[in-house]
Amino acid sequence: MFESIKDQIKNVKKIVFVTGAGISQESGIPTFRGKDGLWRNYDAMKLATIDAFYENPRLVWEWYNERRKNIFSAHPNNGHKAIAELEKLRDVVVLTQNIDGLHQKAGSSKVLELHGSIVKIKCTVCDFIDEMMTDFSESPPLCKCGNILRPDVVWFGEALPQDVWQKAIIHANQCDLMIIAGTSLAVSPANTLPMYAKQNNALLIEINPENTEMSSEMDLIIRNTSANILPEFISLFKEN
């Protein structure tokens, strides 16, 4: 399946991965869309909003507490591990929409979390931000300033952290190869990253069982999962 690009990747030096919920789903972490996106009959896509949080912060915190337990019990799959292994052979940067930290657990050292991290918390009012070291006795938990704490994640309708986003654009502009794995590219602005890579004449590869918003822009499309395909793909670089 890689014959068409075998010659093109010989001189690739910098590889950027854009990853989404699909790669983590293979580690047992549910996605927001489809039947996996339901929690106690609530639509997860509606819970992950600032409006839902202010309307019922206790409910949203309960959901995130359960998500956190699920994420902490999950392990990196062969897709995560293959990306980390590729660091030994090329300059690799991961731009992920996932908040679960599985890329870092697998050993990837250059990871930009576009949508934040579930292990971090921040205040809704003051500038307090920290890692969540333990479960809170109260729900919703309160900051030392007396205001409600929230997960340090980007909810639907919120802007991405600008420092992280600017770095992501720079990496996308500089790469020779971009691999889009396990993301539908339906969420903005992360779905514009392939366009930045294309401006640099980078090779674009999509690994996803289903069609995405930008499949027509790809140089190679592989209709399979990351855990199945990436270990085989990495072997190409070991040959060169």
Alpha helices in the chain (DSSP H): 21-25, 44-47, 50-55, 57-72, 78-86, 102-106, 162-174, 193-199, 226-239
Considering the entire predicted model, what is its pTM? 0.93
Classified as helix, coil or strand, 31 is coil
- The predicted structure's pLDDT at residue 240: 61
CATH 3.40.50.1220 applies to domain 1-28+76-115+157-240: yes
From its phi and psi, is residue 28 left (phi > 0), alpha (psi between -120 and 50) or beta?
left
Residue given tokens 């209709």 in the structure block? 223
27 is in an annotated binding site: no
pLDDT digits (tens, 9 = 90+) for 152-170: 999 999 999 999 999 999 9
183 is in an annotated binding site: yes
Domain assignments of the chain as residue spans, ordered by start? 1-28+76-115+157-240
Catalytic residue list:
115
For residues 63 and 42, the answer to whether their CB atoms sit within 8 Å is yes
Rounded mean pLDDT for each run of 10 residues along the chain, 240 residues in total:
81 96 94 75 90 95 92 97 96 97 98 96 96 75 94 94 97 98 93 96 96 92 96 82
199 is in an annotated binding site: no
Using CA atoms, how far apart are residues 157 and 140, in angstroms rounded to an integer?
22
- The predicted structure's pLDDT at residue 10: 83
- The predicted structure's pLDDT at residue 134: 65
Using CA atoms, how far apart are residues 92 and 87, in angstroms rounded to an integer?
5
Cα–Cα distances in angstroms (integers) from residue 116 to residues 121, 156, 163, in the given order = 10, 12, 12
| 56-64 LR contacts (CB < 8 Å, sep 24+) | 57/140, 57/148, 57/150, 58/139, 58/140, 60/140, 61/139, 61/140, 61/141, 62/139, 63/39, 64/118, 64/151
98 is in an annotated binding site: yes
64 is in an annotated binding site: yes
Burial 143-177 (b: 16+ CB within 10 A, else e): beeeebbbbbbbbeeeebbeebbeebeebbebbbb
49 is in an annotated binding site: no
